Structure 1
Amino acid sequence: MNIKVGDGIKTVLIIGAVFFLCGSSFPEKNKLIQAKISAEIQIPKWYHEGLYFDGKNVWVNNGEGGKTWVVDTSSGSVIKEIEPVGTFTESITLKSDNLFFVTDWNSEKIYTIRIEKGRMIAQSEVCVSPAHPAGAIWNGSNLFVITWTRGLYGTKFHIIKMDDKFNIATKKRINRIQEPAHLAWDGKNLWISSWYDRRVYKVEPENFEITGYFKSPVERTTGIAWDGRYLWLTGTNANLYRIEIAMTKKNQEEK
C-alpha cells in the first residue's frame, strides 16, 4: 500500500452557492473556496461504496458481493473484513455502541445491525421498496438516507429524514444533484457526493439547502466520511483521498 501526502498533490475548488435540492436554477454568482488533497491512500480494487470513520480507521463498503473493509489510514492496509447483512452493502453509520444503521441496495432495506464475530447481525429492518437505499448518515438525532427509485421515465432521487425507529419526518425530491450517492456529517452540515458529475455538495440539514460544492478529484465518486478535520472520499474503483477544506472566516464561525 502506498500513501502520497503533501500540500502540492492537487488543489480543488469549492464553489459556494445557495440553491435547493429541489430547485431548477443555479445562481450565476458563486463564491470560490479552496480545498486540497492532503493524502491519497492506495487500497485494493472493488466496487467501493460508502465510507465510515470510526475515530481511527476508515471503513469501506464494497457493494455487490463484497465485504466491509476496515482500513488503517496510516498504511492503507485492510486490517479487518466484516461479512455483510445482505448482498450489496451501500452504507454503514454508527447509532450507538456497536449498533449501526446499514443500507443494502439489493434487498431495498435499511437495517440496524450489531457486529458479532466479524459478521453484521440484523436487529431490525425496514423495506423502502420500490426504492433502493444508498447513502446514510446518523447525526445523533436523525437518520438521513438517499434513495433511488427507477422507472420507465428515469430515476427519481430522494433524501429521507427519519428517527431511529425508521419513522419518516421529511422526504424530499433531489433534482439539483445528479445521481447522489453517499452522505457525511460534519457536526453541522450534510455533505452529499455525486457519482455522475464528480461533485461533493454541502447541504443545510433542515431545509436541504445547498450552500456550496467542490469538484471531486475522484472519478465516479461514491463514499464520503468526515473525521473531525478532513473529508475522506473514494470512488467505484478508486483509492482513498483525504480532503482538507479551506478554513474561511465563515467556516470558522460555523465551527
Structure 2
Amino acid sequence: MQKLFITLLVVVAGFHAAWAWPGEVIKTLKAPAFNSTGIAFDGKNLWVADRKSDLIYCVDPTSGAIIRSIEAPAYWPSALAWNGSHLLSIDTKGGVPLSENYNATIYKIDPSNGHIVHFTAAPSANTSGVESDKGRLWSISPRESKVVMVNATDGTTIRSFPAPTRSSSALAYDGTYLWIVDPYNDKLFMVSPDDGTVIITTETPSPYVRDIAFDGTNLWLADSQTDSLYLVKTRDEHKYRLTNKRELYLNFTHFTTNFGPGKTTSLDVHIAIPEDRVNQKIIAKTRFEPAGYEIFNDRWNQKTAHWHVTDLQSGAHFEANMYVRADTWDITYFLFPDQVGSQRDIPEEIKTLYLADNEKFQLNNPIISNAVKEALGTEENLYYKARKLYRYVREHIYYEMVGGWNTAPEVLSRGNGSCSEYSFVYIALCRAAGIPARYVGAVSVRSDQARYDDVFHRWVEIYLPNYGWIPVDPSGGDSDSPAHQAAYFGAIKGRYIITTQSGGGSESLEWTYNANEFTQTEPKTFVVSESIGNWDVVK
C-alpha cells in the first residue's frame, strides 16, 4: 500500500512577529509588596491590594512609587475595583481569618481613610473578581463557573452566563467588553457582557495574574508570582498574530487500483496544489510524479495537477504523488465586532462568487431560511451574525461520520454530520444571511505522529469587511466551553497543509478536497482509490 508521508520538523523557538497585539506588554512595574491580589485604577492612580500585609497601596502608574496605603477591610483582600468614588474589595474569607472559611464579602471603602461604608455578601461563597458597572457589579463564581452581575447595594443577581473556562478568576470592564483572566492557562479573554461570548483570546504576560483593571485605554494586570504590575494593550492596528512556527514536509499520494475483471478505459486524477496563505508559505518548488501531468485551474482559481490515463488493465494501478515543503503558523485573528464593516463594504466580486446558491446549500429551502431567522432575530452586525450562526450549528448538530456528504438542509434536519457536513451547513446559513463563505481542505498532522491519517479535515472561511477571509471550524468548536468555541472562530492551528480553497462544485475536485478522480470502465469493473497519510518527525 502506498502511503502519504507528512514529515514534521517543529521549530522550538516560536515565530515572533514584529507586530503588536492585544495582551502585549507596554510597561512593567514592581509591585508594592509580595502578594498582590487586587488592582484598580481611579482615573489617576493605581490601587493594589496585598494579602500578606493586609494593606491596599496607592501607586503612581508612571513610576510605580507608593504614594500611601490604607488598611484592607478584612484579612483576605483579593480583587479590587473603582466605582467612581470608592474602592470595592472582595474579601474571600468574609472578614474571618480562617483558612477554610470561604464566605466572600464585597466591601465598599472610603479611599481617603480605608473606612468601610457598605458591605454585602458576594454572589457565591468563593466569589473571585469584582468590577463596577453603573450601580451594578460583575464578579466570577468559580464553583459554578459563571460570570455574575449583581446589584451593588444588596447583591441581588441580575443575570449570569458561563465563564470562559472553569479556572476564570478575575475581570475588568472597559465600557463595552468584559476582560477575563484564566491564571492557570495564562489566558486573557475579551467577552461580550450580554451573553458571555468569547470574542478575543490572547495570552497573559506572566504566570499567575490575580486581578486586572482598565485604565481607560489599556489593562493593568497584577501578578503575585512575579510580584509585578503589567500594563498591556487592549487594541492594536494589526488584525492577527502568528505563533508556533512549523516546518512541514508533505508527500501526498493518490493511489488507484483496478481490480477488474474489465479495464478502466479512462482515468483522470486531480491533486489540489497548496499555495501561500497568511499562515502558510510554500518554501520549495512543489514536485509531482509521474511526469505527463498538466496544471488545471477551476472556476474558483483552485489549481490541480491533472493526470489522464487510458486503458488501465485489470490488476494494474496508477499512483500520483505530490511533494510539498511549507512553513506554517498558528494564526489568531483579533476580531473587534465594532471594527467589522457592513454588507455594503463587501466587494461585489466576492458577493457574486461566495453568496451564490447551488444544490448542496439550497439557500431558499425553508429549513435554511427558518434557521437563519431563528438564529439571528434582528441582528445586523456581521460579526455577531456569524457568531450566532456558529452557535446555532453547535446547538443543532452533533459530530458523527454517517457516510456521504448530504445537502445542508438534510444534515441540519438529521442533526448530525462530519466536518464536511458541518461546513456545508454553516456555509449555507452564512450565505443565506449575506455573509460570503467558502471551505478549505487540508492534510492534517495528527497528535499521534506515528499513525496514518486517512480522514483529513475541512473547515469554513467567511469574509468579514476590514478583516478579509477568517477561518471558522464549526465542528472543531462544537463544545460547551466558551473558550473552546472561540478557539475555532477566527483561529486555526498550523498543523495543516491547506491544499484546497473552494466554493463547491469544482470542475476538477467537485465537492471533495485534496484529491479527486473521474473514471470510465468496462462493465463489471471494480476500481478502488485512496489517499492515505503517514508522518514522522525529522530528527
Shorter chain as normaliser: what TM range?
Answer: 0.7 to 0.9
User: Deviation above 6 Å: which 4+ runs of structure 1?
Assistant: 10-14
Residue 72, structure 1, aligned to residue 74, structure 2: no
The CA distance in 1 between the partners of 2:121 and 2:338, in whole Å, is 40
Which residue in the other structure is 2:128 paired with?
Answer: 134
Which residue in the other structure is 1:111 paired with?
Answer: 107
Change (3 A) 1:211 1:241: same
Q: Structure with the greater relative contact order (CA < 8 A, sep ≥ 6): 1 or 2?
A: 1
1:35, distance to aligned residue in structure 2 (A):
4.4
Which residue in the other structure is 2:186 paired with?
Answer: 198
1:86, distance to aligned residue in structure 2 (A):
0.9
Matches within 5 A, 1:54-93: 54-93=42-81
Cα deviations by residue, 1:197-248 (Å, 9 ceiling, x for unpaired): 1111111111111111111111111221111121111211331111123146
Change (3 A) 1:170 1:74: same
The CA distance in 2 between the partners of 1:41 and 1:216, in whole Å, is 15
Residue 101, structure 1, aligned to residue 83, structure 2: no
The CA distance in 2 between the partners of 1:183 and 1:79, in whole Å, is 25
2:35–2:52: 8 Å Cα contact kept in structure 1? Answer: yes
**Matching residue's letter, 2:132:** W
Aligned with 2:35 (options 39, 42, 47): 47
Secondary structure in 1 aligned to 2:152? coil
What is the RMSD computed on CA atoms of the aligned residues? 2.8
1:85, distance to aligned residue in structure 2 (A):
0.7
Change (3 A) 1:122 1:229: same
Change (3 A) 1:76 1:211: same
Q: How many residues align?
A: 218
Aligned with 1:38 (options 10, 23, 26): 26
1:39–1:241: 8 Å Cα contact kept in structure 2? Answer: yes
Taking structure 1 as the reference length, what is the TM-score of the superposition? 0.75
Which residue in the other structure is 1:7 paired with?
Answer: none
| Bigger helix fraction | 2
The CA distance in 1 between the partners of 2:338 and 2:161, in whole Å, is 28
Change (3 A) 1:172 1:131: farther
The CA distance in 1 between the partners of 2:337 and 2:192, in whole Å, is 16
Taking structure 2 as the reference length, what is the TM-score of the superposition? 0.37
The CA distance in 1 between the partners of 2:165 and 2:18, in whole Å, is 19
2:146–2:162: 8 Å Cα contact kept in structure 1? Answer: yes
1:91–1:135: 8 Å Cα contact kept in structure 2? Answer: yes
The CA distance in 2 between the partners of 1:203 and 1:182, in whole Å, is 12
Which residue in the other structure is 2:347 paired with?
Answer: none
1:109–1:132: 8 Å Cα contact kept in structure 2? Answer: no
1:12, distance to aligned residue in structure 2 (A):
10
Change (3 A) 1:123 1:12: farther
Which residue in the other structure is 1:172 paired with?
Answer: 161
Change (3 A) 1:188 1:248: farther
Matches within 5 A, 1:19-34: 34=22
The CA distance in 1 between the partners of 2:17 and 2:35, in whole Å, is 26
Cα deviations by residue, 1:67-94 (Å, 9 ceiling, x for unpaired): 1111112211111111011111112222
| Bigger strand fraction | 1
Change (3 A) 1:42 1:116: closer
Which residue in the other structure is 1:3 paired with?
Answer: none
Residue 162, structure 1, aligned to residue 150, structure 2: yes
**Matching residue's letter, 1:235:** D
Secondary structure in 1 aligned to 2:111? strand
The CA distance in 1 between the partners of 2:171 and 2:81, in whole Å, is 10
- State the identity %: 21
The CA distance in 2 between the partners of 1:35 and 1:59, in whole Å, is 21
**Which entry has the higher C-alpha Rg, 1 or 2?**
2
1:193, distance to aligned residue in structure 2 (A):
1.0
Change (3 A) 1:13 1:178: farther
1:65–1:88: 8 Å Cα contact kept in structure 2? Answer: no
1:43–1:77: 8 Å Cα contact kept in structure 2? Answer: no
Which residue in the other structure is 1:214 paired with?
Answer: 202
